[in-house]
Amino acid sequence: MRDFSQDHRWLSLNTATVRKQGDLAAIIEACARHGIRAIDPWRDQVAAIGLDRAVRLVKDAGLELSGYCRGGMFTADDAHRSAVRDDNRRAVDEAAALGASCVVLVVGGLPQYSRPGSAPSKDIVAARAQVHDALADLLDYARQAKMPLAIEPLHPAYAADRACVNTTKQALDLCDALDPSRSGALGVALDVYHIWWDPELLPQIARAGKDRLMAFHVCDWLVPTKDLLNDRGMMGDGVIDIRSVRAAVEAQGFAGYSEIEIFSDAWWNQPMDEVLATCIERHRSVV
Amino acid sequence: MRDFSQDHRWLSLNTATVRKQGDLAAIIEACARHGIRAIDPWRDQVAAIGLDRAVRLVKDAGLELSGYCRGGMFTADDAHRSAVRDDNRRAVDEAAALGASCVVLVVGGLPQYSRPGSAPSKDIVAARAQVHDALADLLDYARQAKMPLAIEPLHPAYAADRACVNTTKQALDLCDALDPSRSGALGVALDVYHIWWDPELLPQIARAGKDRLMAFHVCDWLVPTKDLLNDRGMMGDGVIDIRSVRAAVEAQGFAGYSEIEIFSDAWWNQPMDEVLATCIERHRSVV
């Protein structure tokens, strides 16, 4: 297991962590000030400053991209299906332009939440079948663009509105079904927040292996959690044994970035430099 | 699958659903007014009016008990271990006095939340081992009292603070380990709120079979869920396909009560008679 206590070489910043404090240009400047060498930007943040400018800023700063957030939201009714496909293909193109290591996929929950305007449904089994089919289609496109896709299983609390892929096993079952040869085109993005509770976590990480482990995200689960979406904790402030999960991932050969992604009204209200300084300190002491 | 549309013969009321509107005596009176024939009372509600009086009121009203809530909270540090054992044995004794069909077990999460004052831990694997051991001990006691124990897997959102048994599979693995002969002494209480998202739900219900299916609880998952504990929905107001879960349970031969358990600040603010009338209507139209 790598020693993170001496530096933050392997810290990546998911830019949603400071999305309220500044635009992507400001975040990239802040990363330079703090010696942060990798980011994972969100599409809306890229769009807000323009893709070309984002590409230039990333390149000029010498940043690596540990992922690009996000593709997916595959579940939709028929009327929205082609928009879903086009939207996801654009995500792949943007990720390629930015030089991202993968596109992170949040697959969508029930169609009315995934793609607003879609006909309401309570059929989560049908939603899961849709994810399979739409992902198969996108995978063809992504292979040609040489852009790996990383399915992010989301905590079951988001099954209705964000992702009906809720366990590492489920994500890996999709990988095995759509990429049985383990070509490197499809894998998983594991966020400790979503998976820490899973009784099958360790065997499923072992099953994933190095070639399926495309991204590793950290934050913490607070008790109590006051808001299901925007009350995630800074590493060390909650109940997740983060280091044991990182140990399991690295035991498989994962040697990439430990990406900090914190959706938090509390941290969004702090100055960007203070958030980043805390991230660095916790990366060294807790992650 | 049974037809619930004509009457509410198979409706049971978990008394937490109206815990703010009156004490257990008032709830039992209201059940009589509404023709509700079964309840599942909570220990604190029984204690508030006294066990002997509760036993008498239940008997005089001719009520059945679809369960007794709740035993468990097994996770604790060494200093709290004997208190945990004694507390759970009392729960079994109370259930027997009341004539309950089973004791519902919420197994506890990390020890500092399960039994406040216990030394803090982030080791959920150790918590699960503790659950196994404490449950084995309680099962010996419950067998002698001829009181079945029903493990309730709780939604992963409660893994830290309420229950580290978070899937039906996990609960059934415990059953198989501790009661391999399927003696009827140990089973599961399945609440659609906790399990609806589970991609393995249907095969696990089939695995459970009639002898392990001891209780079936209903409410609904609201989108958005504003409070993780006390924003559960009335059946039909959320996203759960309740009838498909009931169909799966009944396909195994389950023929017991459909127990309504709604923790909701919104419904606790409504008059008891209105809540019960709505429960009955939704039981017939949605469950």
Interval A178-215: pLDDT, tens: 999 999 999 999 999 999 999 999 999 999 999 999 99
Angle, alpha carbons B268-B236-A117 (nearest 5°): 120
In Å, how far is B226's CA from the nearest CA of chain A? 7
Would you state the pLDDT for residue A106?
A: 98
The confidence score (pLDDT) of residue A230 equals 97
Backbone angles phi, psi at A226, to 5 degrees: -85, -20
Are B241 and A124 an interchain contact pair (Cβ–Cβ within 8 Å)? Answer: yes
pLDDT at A17: 98
d(Cα A124, Cα A128) in Å, to the nearest integer? Answer: 6
DSSP bridge partners of B250: none
- How far, rounded to the nearest angstrom, does the alpha carbon of residue A36 sit from its chain's CA centroid? 18
Q: Which residues contact B253 (CB under 8 A, 6 or more apart)?
A: B209, B210, B213
Q: At B40, list the tokens.
A: 């599942």
Instruction: Look up tokens 């996929």; give the residue.
Output: A105
pLDDT tens digits, one per residue of B47-74 = 999 999 999 999 999 999 999 999 999 9
Q: Quick one: what percent of chain B has pLDDT higher than 90?
A: 100
Residue A131: CB partners within 8 Å, gap ≥ 6?
A74, A75, A107, A108, A164, A165, A174
A109-143 confidence digits (pLDDT tens): 999 999 999 999 999 999 999 999 999 999 999 99
Contact by Cβ (8 Å): B151, B189? yes
Q: For residue A93, what pLDDT band results from cuts at 50, 70 and 90?
A: very high
Which pLDDT belongs to residue B181?
A: 98
Bridge partners (DSSP) of residue B40 are B14
CB atoms within 10 A of CB A32: 14
Q: Is A155 on the interface with B (CB under 8 A)?
A: yes
Burial of B205 (0-12, 13-18, 19+ CB in 10 A): buried
Give Rg (Cα) of chain A.
18
pLDDT tens digit string along B247-261?
Answer: 999 999 999 999 999
**Cβ B18 vs Cβ B276: under 8 Å:** yes
How distant, in Å, are the alpha carbons of A9, A131, B108 from that of A258? Answer: 10, 27, 31
Please give the torsion angle defined by the CA atoms of residues B48, B81, B156 and A200, in that order, rounded to the nearest 10 degrees. Answer: -160
pLDDT reported for residue A169? 98
Angle at the Cα of A72 from the Cα atoms of A66 and A74, rounded to 5 degrees: 165
Say if CB B201 and CB B168 are below 8 A apart.
Answer: yes
The secondary structure of A197-244 as a DSSP string is T-TTHHHHHHHHHHHHEEEEEE-B--SS-SSTTTBPBPTTSSS--HHH
Query: Judging by beta carbons within 10 Å of its beta carbon (0-12, 13-18, 19+), is residue B146 exposed, middle or buried?
Result: exposed
- Residue A101: pLDDT band with limits 50, 70, 90: very high
Q: Contacts of residue B156 in chain A, CB cutoff 8 Å?
A: 155-157, 197-198
Contact B160, B111 (CB under 8 A): no
Q: What is the structure's pLDDT at A35?
A: 98
| Domains, in order of start, for chain B | 11-285 (3.20.20.150)
DSSP A108: B
The rounded distance, in Å, linking the Cα atoms of B23 and B160 is 30
Q: Are A102 and A214 in contact (CB under 8 A)?
A: yes
Query: What is the rounded CA–CA span in Å between residue B222 and residue B229?
Result: 12
Neighbour-count burial for B53-86, b at 16+ CB within 10 Å, e otherwise = ebeebbeeeebbbbbbbbbbbbbbeeebbeebbe
* Residues B81-97, mean pLDDT to the nearest whole number: 98
How high is the pLDDT of residue B222?
98
b/e per residue A84-100 (b: at least 16 CB within 10 A): bbebbbebbbbbeebeb
What dihedral angle (degrees, nearest 10) is formed by the CA atoms of A210, A213, A217, A223?
Answer: -100
| Residue range B207-218: mean pLDDT, rounded | 98
Give the one of A123, A223, A228 whose C-beta lies nearest to B161's C-beta: A223
- For the beta carbon of residue B277, count every other beta carbon within 10 angstroms: 14
Q: How far is B265 from chain A (nearest CA, A)?
A: 15
Q: How do residues B147-159 score in pLDDT, each as one tens digit? A: 999 999 999 999 9
Identify from A113, A123, A124 which residue to disrupt to test chain B contact, counting B C-beta atoms within 10 A and taking the largest count: A124
User: What are the start-end ranges of the E strands in chain B?
Assistant: 11-14, 38-40, 64-65, 68-72, 103-106, 149-151, 186-191, 213-218, 258-260
Residue B238 is predicted with a pLDDT of: 98
Q: Tell me whether residues A241 and B122 touch, CB distance under 8 A.
A: yes
The answer to whether A275 faces chain B, any CB pair under 8 Å, is no
Q: Kindly state the average pLDDT of the residues A146-152.
A: 98
- One-letter identity of residue B54: A
Q: Report which residue type is found at B21.
A: Q
β B68-72/B11-14 pair status: unpaired
Assign B190 a pLDDT band (cuts: 50, 70, 90).
Answer: very high
Q: Which amino acid, B242?
A: I
Per-residue DSSP letter, B232: P
pLDDT band at B277 (very low <50, low <70, confident <90, very high): very high
User: What confidence tier does B5 reach under pLDDT thresholds 50, 70, 90?
Assistant: very high
Mean pLDDT across chain B: 98
Per-residue pLDDT band for A102 (boundaries 50, 70, 90) equals: very high
A232-271 per-position pLDDT tens digit? 999 999 999 999 999 999 999 999 999 999 999 999 999 9
Mean pLDDT value across chain A: 98
Q: Give the tens place of pLDDT for each residue, B16-31.
A: 999 999 999 999 999 9
Q: Closest chain B residue to A170 measured between Cα atoms?
A: B199
Tokens of B242: 């309740």
pTM: 0.97
**Cβ contacts of B221 on chain A, cutoff 8 Å:** 160
| Contact B118/A at CB under 8 A | no
Provide mean pLDDT across the span A162-183: 98
In which residue are the tokens 């500044």 written? A22
Smallest Cα distance from B258 to chain A, Å: 20
**Cβ atoms of A164 and A126 closer than 8 Å:** no
Of A62, A23, A36, residue with least CA distance to A258: A36
